[in-house]
Amino acid sequence: MFSLYKKELQSYFYSPFAYIISALFLLVFSMSFIQGISNMDSSIFKFSFSNIFYNNFFYFIFMIPLLTMRTFAEERKSHTETLWLSAPITIPQVVFAKFLAVATVFLLMMVLSLFFPLIAAVKGHVIVSSMICGYLGFFLWGLVCIAVGMMMSALTDNPIIAAVFGETAMIFLIFLDNFASTDLVASLPFLQKLLNWFSTEVHFSAFSQGLFSLSDLVFFISITLVVLVWTIIIIEKRRWSRG
């Protein structure tokens, strides 16, 4: 599994792909950082890095499917999928190796953004606990999106279609709480409660306020694992259909 993880990780950095996505990520982050500073009435850096993630996650999610769209679709399109489908390695090992590789790239992107809190710390005061919660919550949210993007990639042999499906699914997750707050759903308390429970934005809100919530942590990990299991089932089904 480690050799496959290493191979997948190298595939991102042996091409300009990961560098372009990282640059876009830092561009959005830097623009939000600059805008946050320019809108302050005081010369003191007093704003939340968690809010940068919360307010701009809609833009960040457009980058994640670009990382995941090739995980399975590209190999299926080029017929190299049969190499590991017929190999002694198990499907769960393949899925988790690919997932960890994308998650590592995503984590490195976040590490690069730590440059901005360092700048803020030089000229002002950074609430470290709030920043850590914000980064943790955003990373967990990103893991859910990575898992969803990989599942979409497993459903098709076209990376572009996988990216479109991934974007659609992630937008649905983001606006799930908005749909739950409509008058129609509000008239059905059980349905509203159910939709709010599945809303990733609702579960991220505590982290965005600098609060660590064990229940929200369990939610993100659980949803990520469930989606990865679905991906394993999809690939296993295709493997058995091949005989």
pLDDT digits (tens, 9 = 90+) for 161-204: 999 998 888 888 777 766 766 766 667 677 667 776 777 777 78
Range scoring the smallest mean pLDDT among 17-21, 110-114, 185-189: 185-189
DSSP class per residue in 14-80 = SSSHHHHHHHHHHHHHHHHHHHHHHT-SSSS----HHHHHHHHHHHHTTTHHHHHTTTTHHHHHHT-
Q: What is the pTM of this model?
A: 0.87
Domain ranges of the chain: 2-36+44-241
User: By C-alpha distance, which of 198, 203, 204, 25 is closest to 116?
Assistant: 25
Cβ–Cβ < 8 Å for 102, 9: no
6: phi then psi, degrees, rounded to nearest 5: -65, -40
How far is the C-alpha of 101 from the C-alpha of 14, rounded, in Å?
13
